[in-house]
Structure 1
Amino acid sequence: MINPEKFIEMFGNKEPEELVKLAQVDPDYTSGRPRLIFDGETVISKQYPYASSYTPSPNDRVLVLKGVVICAIK
């Protein structure tokens, strides 16, 4: 049984996890896992995996779900 103090400890004062993010594929992308520029940022990120149904292209605007590029947003 979880008491109120334990509940607050588990869920209180924590940053919410960002499950969904929007980004742009690196303009210099050529192949492999794409590097991204997330909305509101100017630094190009590390490489991210992508869904098999999506083929990355330079400058694509993409939806990232839990760290995986899901699709381009048209």
Structure 2
Amino acid sequence: MIDHEFFISNFMNKKKEKIIQFARVDPNYTSGRPRLIFDGETVVSGKAYPYLASYTPAANDRVMLVKGVVVGKIV
């Protein structure tokens, strides 16, 4: 039987990395990998982020990232 301590210790994010993040696509975005404005920030990121092939970025889209990859638009 698995107790709660085993479960928590094995599924905690020990590195404290941001697994899931939310952001908005740069309002000046036109093509390529989009730069983002992350929740709580006001400045566009210096990095352009990869995205899944099933998503087509558009300026001002509200998006969700999983481990640094845009997985889609939040509607």
With normalisation by structure 1, the TM-score equals 0.78
**Equivalent-residue separation in structure 2 for 1:65 and 1:15 (angstroms):** 15
State the SS of the aligned residue for 1:22: strand
The percent identity for this pair of structures is 64
Superposed CA RMSD in Å reads 1.1
Question: 1:15 Cα deviation (Å)?
Answer: 5.9
Count of aligned pairs between the two proteins:
61
Aligned to 2:74: 73
Unaligned stretches of 5+ in structure 1? 1-13
Does residue 37 (structure 1) correspond to residue 37 (structure 2)? The answer is yes
Kindly provide the amino acid, as one letter, of the partner of residue 62 in structure 1. V
* TM-score of the pair, normalised by structure 2: 0.77
Question: C-alpha displacement at 1:29, in angstroms?
Answer: 0.3
Report the counterpart of residue 20 of structure 2 in structure 1.
20
For the residue of structure 1 that corresponds to 2:24, the secondary structure is strand
Match of 1:17, as an amino acid? E
Runs of 4+ in 1 over 4 A off after TM superposition: none
Unaligned runs of 5+ in 2: 1-13
> SS at the partner of 2:63?
strand
